[in-house]
Amino acid sequence: MMDETDSRLLAALQSDAQITAQDLGALLNLSASQAARRRARLEADGLITGYAARLSPGKLGLTVQAFVQVQMAAHAPETAREFLRLIATLPEVVACWTLTGEADYLLRVWCADLPALNDLIHHRLLPNPAVARVQSQIVMAQPKPDAGLPV
């Protein structure tokens, strides 16, 4: 069971996953060992599933972010598995969701430039027999960066 201190701890970790137990304890009005034990418990309970570095797309040469909606030609389980196997091989696809509505999948992609996005869509997604239709939206700006979950 989570309490207010656990919620504050999770919020702090989402903001800075490298925060020390000493600083976390000071923020939560706990000792460093108490903060570390709470953190370890939340990890063991599966509320904290991992830690990752946030990279700068621009510094990595990735200048185009897009959302790509994919409509499937058929909805057989093997067709979906085949499509998901393809998606797993595409490093440009950084997230994939199944959806309700007209599109079956929503892909978040990062590409070096527009020709690379065009190549991804026209030479890797559309040729797949499982894919009936693709629609893309290019991100112009991201006024609110990816944020942590509300805790």
Q: Where are the domains of the chain?
A: 4-44, 58-138
Render the burial of 33-63: b for 16+ CB within 10 Å, e for the rest. eebbebbeebeeeeebeeeeeeeeeeeeebe
Q: Indicate the CATH number for domain 4-44.
A: 1.10.10
Each of the 151 residues of the chain gets a pLDDT tens digit; together they read 899 999 999 999 999 999 999 999 999 999 999 999 999 999 999 999 999 999 999 999 999 999 999 999 988 999 999 999 999 999 999 999 999 999 999 999 999 999 999 999 999 999 999 999 999 999 999 999 888 899 9
pLDDT of residue 111: 98
Q: Where do the H-state alpha helices sit in 16-147?
A: 21-28, 32-44, 77-88, 114-119
pTM for the model: 0.88
Domains 4-44 and 58-138 share a fold: no
CATH class, domain 58-138, is: alpha beta
Distance CA 90, CA 136 (A): 16
- Strand, coil or helix: 2: coil
CA neighbor of 10 nearest in space, from 39, 41, 33, 52 = 39
